[in-house]
């Protein structure tokens, strides 16, 4: 009894001192590994702050690559790295992490992490290029699958460079049941062409500052999220797309605004149910003379619209009102404060959006927008 009281007291003291008692490390490694096999990669990483034993199991193992990949060409890099990743995926451990070091180098080049439920994370951020070489990637499922890649369902690629672009292409081709793909912080990536089989359902591209064109053909894609400067985006054969997010917080980047390109993009997502768009894009279209109600397409299936604005002004409200006239089935509107401000011509005042329940509701929406508040409403049936 006294031992129990003392243990309880020490745990209470740890909490009072702002320390979290390490209750996980007392468990055997076999049990910890079994837990790892049932949770996501993100959850496994979060638990490292709670347990030293868990952190030790999650910490990556060091692997030295025979050649100096940093000084090799793309084909040589692929030849050296691909068998390492194949062997890594062949391990029976549900969670495993490797750090790859070039020969005679103390700085890692890449981190490979395999999580439960078919997750594979490849992070090449260890190699920093002062001036990134531009490159393009074609991700195609046309080639035959390798047996070691057949279990990958969730592929997360970070900081892919020109040195490993070919490797990533081969890897993608071999992931025959891939459902989720995320590309993040790939400096130098200019052109991305994704030709998927019927398995890919979720695609996320974030913070790739040099990207200029994105072409996607994925017949069962349901969710597409893009964050960065406005590129040319072509969506081909995507009949099941439901959720699209275009968070253009970096504005136009280095390109000029092409009204026809943007309208073509909006037309390709007209059948989605959830849409997120940066408010400046709607404002620029209105400033360019676009009359949304006169377009040859409507967002007839759109149920939820999220508009991200840097400044919620009367111009924002008026351009948003113009756009909402094309949303015949809208149920919820969210206007969030944040994003980038784009200089544009003064927009003539537009009428309030048609279809809101009452004039009082229209005024309430306008007042909330002008006061910089998030706005949510339900359209009357």
Q: 136-179: per-residue pLDDT in tens?
A: 888 887 655 555 677 789 999 999 888 777 778 877 777 888 89
Backbone angles phi, psi at 310, to 5 degrees: -80, -30
Q: Which residue has the tokens 């129990």?
A: 4
Would you say the C-alpha torsion 183, 266, 211, 287 has a positive or negative sign? Answer: negative
Q: What is the DSSP letter of 101?
A: E
Give 8's pLDDT tier (boundaries 50, 70, 90): very low
So what's the pLDDT on residue 301? 96
Q: Rounded CA gap, 277 and 194, in Å? A: 22
Q: Rounded CA gap, 148 and 164, in Å? A: 19
Question: In the structure encoding, which two tokens stand for residue 270, read together?
Answer: 């007209």
Angle between helices 314-324 and 359-370 (to 10 degrees): 140
Which residues are 332's β-sheet partners? 304, 378
| Long-range contact set of residues 108-112: C-beta below 8 Å, sequence gap at least 24 | 108/62, 109/65, 109/69, 109/70, 110/81, 110/164, 111/60, 112/60, 112/84, 112/85, 112/88
So what's the pLDDT on residue 361? 43
Indicate the Cα dihedral angle 233, 268, 217, 171, nearest 10°. Answer: 50
Contacts of 34 (CB under 8 A, 6+ apart): none
Backbone angles phi, psi at 132, to 5 degrees: -65, 135
So what's the pLDDT on residue 198? 81
Q: Are 41 and 115 in contact (CB under 8 A)?
A: yes
Q: Which residue has the tokens 């996980």?
A: 24
Residue 363, pLDDT > 80, answer no
210-247 pLDDT per residue, tens: 999 999 999 999 999 999 999 999 999 999 999 999 99
Pick left, alpha or beta for residue 332 (phi over 0 → left; psi -120 to 50 → alpha; otherwise beta).
Answer: beta
Average pLDDT, the chain: 78
Residue 284, pLDDT > 60, answer yes
Q: What is the DSSP letter of 210?
A: T
Q: Are 209 and 232 in contact (CB under 8 A)?
A: no
Q: Are 116 and 36 in contact (CB under 8 A)?
A: yes
Numbers of helices and strands, H then E, in the chain = 10, 16
Q: Rounded CA gap, 224 and 201, in Å? A: 9
Pick left, alpha or beta for residue 339 (phi over 0 → left; psi -120 to 50 → alpha; otherwise beta).
Answer: left
So what's the pLDDT on residue 172? 79
């Amino acid at each position: 009894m006294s031992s129990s009281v003392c243990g309880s007291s020490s745990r209470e003291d740890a909490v009072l001192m702002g320390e979290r008692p390490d209750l996980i490390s007392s468990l055997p490694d076999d049990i910890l590994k079994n837990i790892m096999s049932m949770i996501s990669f993100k959850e496994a990483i979060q638990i490292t702050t709670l347990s030293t034993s868990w952190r030790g199991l999650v910490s990556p193992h060091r692997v030295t690559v025979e050649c100096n990949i940093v000084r090799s060409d793309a084909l040589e890099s692929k030849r050296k790295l691909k068998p390492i990743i194949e062997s890594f995926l062949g391990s029976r451990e549900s969670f495993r992490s490797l750090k790859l070091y070039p020969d005679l180098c103390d700085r890692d080049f890449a981190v490979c992490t395999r999580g439960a439920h078919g997750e594979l994370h490849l992070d090449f951020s260890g190699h920093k290029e002062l001036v990134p070489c531009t490159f393009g990637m074609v991700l195609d499922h046309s080639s035959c699958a390798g047996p070691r890649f057949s279990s990958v369902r969730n592929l997360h690629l970070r900081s892919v460079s020109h040195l490993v672009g070919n490797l990533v292409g081969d890897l993608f081709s071999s992931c025959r049941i891939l459902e989720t793909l995320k590309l993040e912080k790939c400096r130098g990536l200019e052109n991305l062409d994704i030709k998927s089989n019927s398995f890919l359902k979720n695609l996320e591209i974030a913070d790739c500052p040099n990207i200029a064109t994105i072409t996607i053909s994925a017949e069962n894609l349901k969710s597409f999220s893009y964050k960065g400067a406005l590129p040319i985006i072509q969506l081909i054969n995507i009949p099941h797309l439901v959720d699209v997010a275009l968070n253009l917080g970096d504005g136009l980047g280095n390109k000029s605004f092409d009204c026809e390109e943007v309208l073509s993009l909006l037309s390709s997502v007209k059948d989605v149910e959830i849409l997120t768009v940066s408010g400046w894009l709607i404002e620029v279209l209105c400033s360019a003379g676009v009359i949304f109600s006169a377009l040859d397409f409507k967002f007839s299936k759109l149920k939820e619209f999220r508009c991200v604005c840097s400044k919620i002004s009367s111009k924002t409200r008026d351009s948003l009102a113009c756009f909402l006239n094309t949303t015949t089935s809208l149920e919820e509107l969210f206007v969030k404060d944040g994003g980038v401000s784009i200089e544009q011509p003064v927009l003539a005042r537009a009428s309030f959006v048609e279809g809101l329940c009452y004039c009082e509701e229209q005024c309430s929406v306008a007042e909330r927008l002008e006061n910089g508040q998030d706005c949510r409403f339900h359209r009357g049936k």
